[in-house]
């Protein structure tokens, strides 16, 4: 994989990979707030990597997934430079007529075996998660890779 960023103006960049583009910028007043910050992209990377794992697993078992989202709550360090992630908490929200054990297993496997982004990040910061199915919490845990 080879990515590229191209400076646009002030603190704005465009991230490029093949034909895909993403706007990157710093928050005001340093930047214009016209795109995602690098840390925001990293947080979304954690969620989307694990989300793709979960969806693939549920499709494999022909589960009736109606909707799905992952919230990423990041606690940054304060008063130090550089500010880094201190804690990452993921909230998986599934909706559909699905087997709760398979839903929970889809997240557990992602956070212990399959999600390469979580596997890298957990070396520096703890990642915890909660899993909800149809608005009911069905499990929780921590990312642990061997």
Q: Which residues constitute the domain of residue 10?
A: 1-36
Whether residue 74 is found in the same domain as residue 118: yes
Average pLDDT, the chain: 97
Whether residue 26 is found in the same domain as residue 84: no
Whether residue 104 is found in the same domain as residue 70: yes
pLDDT digits (tens, 9 = 90+) for 122-146: 999 999 999 999 999 999 999 999 8
pLDDT digits (tens, 9 = 90+) for 34-77: 999 999 999 999 999 999 999 999 999 999 999 999 999 999 99
Amino acid 146: pLDDT: 85
DSSP letter for 77, please: P
Whether residue 68 is found in the same domain as residue 122: yes
Whether residue 60 is found in the same domain as residue 17: no
Q: How far apart are CA 18 and CA 3, in angstroms?
A: 8
Whether residue 16 is found in the same domain as residue 44: no
SS3 readout for 4-57: EEEEEECCEEEEEECCEEEEECCCCCCCCCCCECHHHHHHHHHHHHHHHHHHHH
Whether residue 65 is found in the same domain as residue 99: yes
pTM score of the predicted model? 0.94
Number of domains in the chain: 2
């Amino acid at each position: 994989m080879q990515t590229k960023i191209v400076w646009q103006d002030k603190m704005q960049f465009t991230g490029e990979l093949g034909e895909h583009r993403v706007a990157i910028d710093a928050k005001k007043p340093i930047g214009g707030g016209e795109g995602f910050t690098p840390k925001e992209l990293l947080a979304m990377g954690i969620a989307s990597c694990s989300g793709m794992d979960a969806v693939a697993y549920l499709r494999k078992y022909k589960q009736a997934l109606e909707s799905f989202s992952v919230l990423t709550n990041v606690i940054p360090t304060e008063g130090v430079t550089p500010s880094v992630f201190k804690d990452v908490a993921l909230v998986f929200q599934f909706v559909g007529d699905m087997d709760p054990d398979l839903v929970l297993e889809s997240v557990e496997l992602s956070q212990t075996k399959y999600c390469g982004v979580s596997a890298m990040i957990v070396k520096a910061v703890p990642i915890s998660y909660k899993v909800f199915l149809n608005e009911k919490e069905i499990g929780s845990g921590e990312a642990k890779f061997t």
